């Protein structure tokens, strides 16, 4: 096993520091690969960051300049895609009524908005229905498909849901409602009855596109629909400009935390360029209400647009996201964006209360051993709209897979659960298996996230079952507490030029992590609490070089206590542009630290 970075075996957050090394490589091979990439005319820091994320000389330029023409597959390589296109075009030509049933998260909202915009362009009779998280639950149900059928719908298209809705789709077949499914969640066994089930994660799909989100699947479907509509002469006006909607595909991909490699990387890289222009009235309105400065970034998608779009589905009207992303009316967009801003503030308040209680319970051992395969906890009355966020916060804090369960009604014996995982532990597969075996009432997901329905009274037995299912993967991925570091740099090297080099290797996200650097032997000073549990400070090295820093949610923790002191530390950071000081300043976010001696 390689030695620890700066000799840190257990930091102030309990992590071992390591040099970032991609799977299949070793520290010994990194230098050779970096040299090969530099010979292509690529800068030294860019080469280091590329190689550390798995690039080799013959892939480096393609990764640096991701293009759809290089990554976009033939759409019909996806199982059932051709059937879906035939069914949809038949409905359009026959002026049949179409309902898009979209999930209430950002991936579902962007997928629904993409499809609806295409249907508008061909003059189809289409509308969108988004289930209510509390009243309807996730995805289609027998009750919902009957409701949709009774509304006069001829063709139901589910997006970001449906692949595991066997009861609902069997009911749809019984009542004569045609169904097409566009989904990406893990599947087990034969697909449910439908005209087409397009899902790169169905067992008989050989497209190799299993990392796509629903928005990515829908984008590929629209490539095929555009081509077929052109061949059949369906356009009465200008042809649908799919590239101008890349912002929605990128937004769904980022917010669903899909790996930014392959086609996903091209969708996001090109989509962020579209997003930066704010041509979508809904995103333009959100940028105004949130006071967003840089709309063309992963941060804007994941941390500004995403939470606000999700707020409606979490604590308000689940249809707000798809309505906002679909509208062409600027005044309507402003009204919805302002409503989402209020709902997002409400969501943050609810989340803070639940998170505080959840952390205390975990630290008391009520969620299982801190070094076990799974932390699982919950309580009646923990709002189902925020348990996924809380699970993510706990996962980041304790570096273990986490499932949090809750209910809107404190008297409800049935719980909704949401889970977040760490790399190497496929939580969705475990939850899907538990659902198939009758351990829980329903459940599914993908590698990094899962949702479930169960009874509160069975929390202990469900936790035991899922722990057993996850143990081997958890043992194999025992490095989830390791902190991968790209390079040791001095404070003087934290320059705009380094930020430019980092930007060239982006965009960053899941599967393509943000660069992480270490500063050795620096002293904190002028530290002060800010916000809700954050610490703002300056770091200074022995030569007097300084950099402004912040550490989020670390107050009253060992890390925060050390930062409030004056003893020398080794510090791990993410670098970023200092928007407050101007274009040529750099500051940092402190991730971790350890005493320097």
Listed residues 481, 499, 529: the one ending a domain: 481
Listed residues 448, 466, 481: the one ending a domain: 481
Instruction: Confirm whether 359 is domain-assigned.
Output: no
- 254, 326: one domain: yes
What letter would DSSP give residue 571?
A: E
Quick check: 1 pLDDT over 50?
no
Instruction: Confirm whether 110 is domain-assigned.
Output: yes
- 113, 15: one domain: no
- 511, 451: one domain: no
Q: Give pLDDT, residue 582.
A: 55
- 370, 322: one domain: no
- 383, 247: one domain: no
**Mean predicted confidence (pLDDT) in 374-389:** 95
Nearest in space to 51 (alpha carbons), one of 60, 41, 42, 43: 60
**Mean predicted confidence (pLDDT) in 459-481:** 87
Give me the number of domains the chain comprises: 3
Instruction: Confirm whether 350 is domain-assigned.
Output: no
**Mean predicted confidence (pLDDT) in 68-87:** 97
pLDDT digits (tens, 9 = 90+) for 234-277: 887 788 999 999 999 999 999 998 999 999 999 999 999 999 99
Listed residues 424, 449, 481: the one ending a domain: 481
- 319, 260: one domain: yes
The dihedrals phi and psi of 70, each to the nearest 5 degrees, come to -90, -25
Instruction: Confirm whether 26 is domain-assigned.
Output: no
The more confident residue out of 135 and 539 is 539
- DSSP character string of 195-240: SEEE-TTSTT--SS-TT--HHHHHHHHHHHHHHHHHHTT--SSSPP
pTM of the predicted model, to two decimals? 0.90
With contact defined as beta carbons under 8 Å apart, do 166 and 181 qualify? Answer: no
Instruction: Confirm whether 568 is domain-assigned.
Output: yes
Mean pLDDT of the chain: 94
With contact defined as beta carbons under 8 Å apart, do 402 and 423 qualify? Answer: no
**Mean predicted confidence (pLDDT) in 448-476:** 93
- 453, 503: one domain: no
Helices and strands: H and E segment counts in the chain: 21, 18
Q: Give pLDDT, residue 478.
A: 62
Instruction: Confirm whether 46 is domain-assigned.
Output: no
**Mean predicted confidence (pLDDT) in 23-44:** 93
Instruction: Confirm whether 48 is domain-assigned.
Output: no
With contact defined as beta carbons under 8 Å apart, do 107 and 183 qualify? Answer: no
What domain range is 582 assigned to? 5-20+486-595
Question: From CA 406, how far away is CA 417, in angstroms rounded?
Answer: 6
- 137, 237: one domain: yes
**Mean predicted confidence (pLDDT) in 415-425:** 93
**CB contact burial 453-475 (16+ within 10 A = b; e otherwise):** bbebebbeebbebbbebbeebbe
**Mean predicted confidence (pLDDT) in 351-374:** 94
Strand partners, 454: 415
- 513, 471: one domain: no
- 165, 234: one domain: yes
- 422, 441: one domain: yes
Q: What proportion of the chain, given as a percentage, has pLDDT over 70?
A: 98
Cis before residue 507, ω within 30 degrees of 0? Answer: yes
Q: Give pLDDT, residue 475.
A: 81
- Specify the CATH number for the domain of residue 515: 2.40.50.460
- Specify the CATH number for the domain of residue 230: 3.90.1640.30
Question: From CA 224, how far away is CA 247, in angstroms rounded?
Answer: 19
In the structure, what pLDDT confidence band is assigned to residue 581 with cuts at 50, 70 and 90?
A: low
């Amino acid at each position: 096993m390689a030695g620890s970075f700066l000799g840190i075996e257990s930091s102030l957050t309990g992590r071992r520091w390591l040099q970032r090394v991609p799977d299949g490589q070793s520290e010994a091979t990194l230098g050779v690969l970096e040299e090969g990439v530099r010979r292509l005319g690529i800068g030294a820091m860019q080469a280091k960051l590329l190689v550390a994320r798995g690039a080799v000389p013959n892939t480096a330029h393609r990764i640096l300049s991701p293009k759809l023409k290089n990554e976009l597959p033939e759409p019909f390589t996806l199982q059932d895609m051709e059937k879906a296109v035939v069914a949809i075009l038949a409905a359009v030509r026959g002026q049949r009524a179409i309902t898009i049933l979209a999930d209430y998260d950002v991936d579902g909202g962007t997928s629904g908005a993409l499809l609806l915009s295409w249907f508008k362009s061909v003059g189809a009779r289409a509308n969108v229905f988004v289930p209510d998280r509390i009243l309807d639950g996730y995805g289609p149900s027998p009750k919902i498909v009957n409701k949709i059928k009774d509304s006069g719908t001829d063709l139901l298209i589910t997006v970001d849901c449906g692949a595991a809705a066997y009861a609902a789709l069997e009911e749809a077949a019984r009542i004569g409602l045609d169904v097409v499914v566009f989904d990406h969640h893990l599947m087990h066994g034969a697909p449910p009855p439908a005209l087409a089930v397009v899902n790169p994660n169905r067992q008989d799909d050989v497209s190799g596109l299993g990392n796509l989100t629903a928005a990515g699947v829908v984008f590929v479907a629209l490539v095929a629909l555009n081509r077929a509509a052109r061949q059949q002469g369906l356009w009465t006006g200008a042809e649908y400009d799919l590239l101008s909607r890349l912002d929605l595909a990128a937004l769904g991909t980022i917010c669903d935390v899909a790996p930014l490699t392959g086609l996903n990387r091209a969708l996001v890289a090109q989509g962020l360029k579209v997003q930066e222009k704010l041509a979508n009235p809904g995103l333009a309105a959100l940028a105004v209400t949130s006071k967003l400065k840089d709309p063309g970034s992963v941060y804007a998608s994941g941390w500004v647009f995403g939470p606000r779009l999700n707020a409606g589905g979490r604590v308000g009207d689940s249809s707000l996201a798809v309505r906002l992303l679909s509208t062409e009316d600027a005044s309507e967009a402003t009204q919805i964006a302002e409503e989402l801003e209020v709902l997002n503030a409400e969501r943050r308040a609810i989340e803070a209360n639940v998170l505080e209680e959840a952390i205390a319970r975990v630290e008391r051992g009520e969620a299982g051993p801190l070094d076990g395969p799974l932390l699982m906890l919950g309580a009646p009355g923990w709002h189902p709209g925020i348990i996924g966020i809380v699970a993510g916060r706990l996962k980041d804090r304790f570096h273990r897979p986490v499932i949090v369960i809750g209910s809107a009604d404190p008297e409800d014996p049935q719980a909704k659960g949401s889970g977040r995982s760490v790399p190497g532990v496929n939580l969705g597969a475990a939850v899907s298996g538990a659902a198939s075996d009758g351990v829980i009432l329903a459940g599914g997901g993908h590698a990094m996230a899962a949702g479930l329905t169960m009874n509160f009274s069975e929390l202990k037995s469900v936790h035991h079952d899922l722990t057993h299912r996850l143990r081997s993967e958890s043992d194999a991925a025992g490095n989830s507490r390791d902190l991968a570091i790209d390079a040791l740099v001095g404070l003087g090297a934290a320059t705009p030029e380094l930020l430019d080099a980092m930007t060239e290797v982006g965009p960053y996200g899941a599967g393509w992590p943000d660069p992480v650097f270490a500063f050795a032997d620096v002293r904190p000073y002028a530290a002060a609490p800010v916000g809700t549990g954050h610490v703002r400070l300056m770091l200074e090295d022995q030569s007097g070089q300084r950099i402004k820093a912040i550490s989020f949610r670390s107050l009253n923790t060992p890390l925060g206590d050390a930062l409030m002191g004056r003893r020398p530390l080794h510090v791990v950071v993410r670098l970023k542009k200092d928007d407050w000081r101007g274009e040529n300043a750099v500051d940092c976010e402190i991730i971790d630290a350890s005493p320097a001696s």
